[in-house]
Amino acid sequence: MTETTHRKGFIRRFFGAIGGAITWLRRVFTNLLFLLLLLFIFAAIFGKEERLTVPQGAALKLAPTGFLVDERSPPRGLPAFLGGPPGPVETRVKDLVDAIDFAAKDKRISSIVLELDYLMGGGISKLEEVGAALQRFKSADKPVYAVGDNFTQAQYFLASHADEVYLNPMGSVLLTGFGAYRNYFKSALDKLKVNFHVFRVGDYKDFIEPYTRDDMSPASRENNQRWLHELWSEYTEQVTGLRNLPPQAIDIFIEELPQNLRDHNGSWADAALANQLVDHLASRRVAVKALQEKIGVGDDDQTYKAIDALPYLRNQRLTHLAPTPGSRKVALISASGTIVDGEAPAGQIGSVSLGKLIAQAREKEVAALVLRVDSGGGSAFASEAIRQELLATREANIPVVVSMGSVAASGGYWIATGGDQIWATPSTITGSIGVFGAFPTFEESLESIGIYNDGIGTSELAGTMRLDRALPEPAAEVLQLGVENTYDRFLRIVAEARGSTPDEVHKIAQGQVWTGRTAQQLGLVDELGNLNDAIAGAAKLAELEEYELVEIKRELTPGERFMRALSDNIGASVSAEIQSNLPLGAWLSSLQPALEPLAELQSYRDPRAIYARCLPCQAP
């Protein structure tokens, strides 16, 4: 037998070697990039903070991204660059306010520049808190400038605090007024043969309307119209005052917008300038050049001399880490999101997880506790459990002050009654004192595809809370009686806390929503003011002249810290890319409230299926 050996030719071997080398280099390069990414992430998570050098005369660059929040939610799922969905970034209001207040007293900081292109909103109450800090900064004889390619309603509210506002000649100031619109699902649920069982008390408790109607009820329309007009008046009064415009200037601008655009050949920017909403029309390059002349030239000669707000804030906090010797502590806990029973991550309020934080405050023997509530409510059972923890704190001779954020309604107000004092901003949405029960069943949906349920129990109530069985009449009666009992309890709790009677509270309850200003007039709120005002109020209750503020919050898990690092350093650019296309960004943002009622179904986990929730409490 003859053995034949096939050898590759020289050319094939030569190019094969080149291909192998390229493959090897590609793998090495990919692995190096991966290792560098890991090092970057671990440095971001575990690296030691280094103090920055703040340039003399620099501006503080305030460029918030995404939505303003009191408490940031932990990132969930894959970040966008790994194939996950692009999600909005969140910017914490207290971080912005602290950075501005530090800068007001910092002789190295000459001014503030607002770059608001990637701010997506957050509620007028939160905007007012940042705006108040900007006014404090200006009172230190330091100017504020605003630069934007376009200004949405939320962006313009902050921009109106500036001494000079620069708008791109191709840009716009998009003012439309406030609205409360939502999707209604009754006909869709009927077509799907879903039976949504609802138990309620009061004429105005409209959280369940999207599941039981195809339009807004007259009672809901009346209530929503009142608080929307109050908030819009708050917005327009502040903006016209800051811009030195006639009182009705904003409303007139909106009403006459078509004619304004015709008068200026369709140019939104020219119309804004003519109506004194902005001071200069300038491209970004021209605006930067103007700021360079006012502030100074940055290191790269391409921008003005500035330091970003959040790195600056970290630097200042490192500098001011040492507490004053002998100072006592005021604790701050943030509670944001839907109220649910048990444990919950940041972005939701879990009765157990928040209760642990409140207990920690007692263990730290703080002099006072401030609970910041930003919630439209949730589980009635969980709300009461949290209120009991606040009462226990007061019994330990620790004064408790509740500071309401954009929203503190229904279950959020239930929690607030546990405080010694309740503070709200004028534009806080609160009240909505009411209770409902909700329970969907899918027996007809299943029967339509040939799935039936049958069996036997020791009583008519056995197996009644199943999604695949019809709800018997006795069970429905039990749930309705439970709702009525919980509502009566809610009225008694509010009456006791506010020095009133259940009958008097009932007149302003039944799910009615109020602004903070009106709530104070009705006796539901003690004081009007922002978070800093509430903290000062807590210190006064504790008879403190000097104190140290300490934040008590749930620590992120290593996985959450990892995802936060990715989100902060990479996710922001994804959000910016979305927002750079204004119509696309606005459309994507509009999907969130449209689908909110369906998404909220997953939070229905009250042990008795009884809830204190507020549907319109999504601050505009």
Residue type, 491: L
How confident is the model over 518-552, as pLDDT tens digits? Answer: 999 999 999 999 999 999 999 999 999 889 999 99
pLDDT value of position 317: 86
Strands (E), 204-358: 280-281, 306-308, 328-336, 338-340, 348-350
Integer Rg of the chain from CA: 28
In angstroms, how far apart are the furthest CA atoms of the chain?
A: 110
User: The tokens 């009991």 sit on which residue?
Assistant: 388
d(CA 527, CA 555): 31
Nearest C-alpha neighbor of 495 from the set 515, 521, 524, 517: 524
Residues 6+ apart with CB under 8 A from 144: 111, 112, 113, 114, 134, 137, 138, 161, 162, 163
DSSP 8-class letter at 74: P
d(CA 11, CA 1): 31
* C-beta pairs of 498-502 under 8 Å, 24+ apart in sequence: 498/417, 498/523, 498/524, 499/523
pLDDT value of position 2: 46
pLDDT value of position 170: 96
Q: Let me know the angle formed at the C-alpha of 442 by 441 and 447, rounded to the nearest 5 degrees.
A: 140
pLDDT at 212 over 50: yes
Residue 111 pairs in a beta bridge with 59
Residues 6+ apart with CB under 8 A from 176: 153, 254
pTM of the entire predicted model: 0.83
Nearest C-alpha neighbor of 527 from the set 406, 403, 348, 409: 403
493 token code pair = 């709790």
How far is the CA of 252 from the CAs of 119, 237, 260, 302, in angstroms? 26, 13, 10, 39
Q: Let me know the angle formed at the C-alpha of 596 by 591 and 602, rounded to the nearest 5 degrees.
A: 135
pLDDT at 58 over 60: yes
How confident is the model over 458-503, as pLDDT tens digits? Answer: 888 888 878 889 888 888 888 889 889 999 999 999 999 999 999 9
User: The tokens 């078509």 sit on which residue?
Assistant: 258
Mean local confidence (pLDDT), 507-525: 95
Which residues are marked as active site?
A: 205, 410
Mean local confidence (pLDDT), 569-573: 45
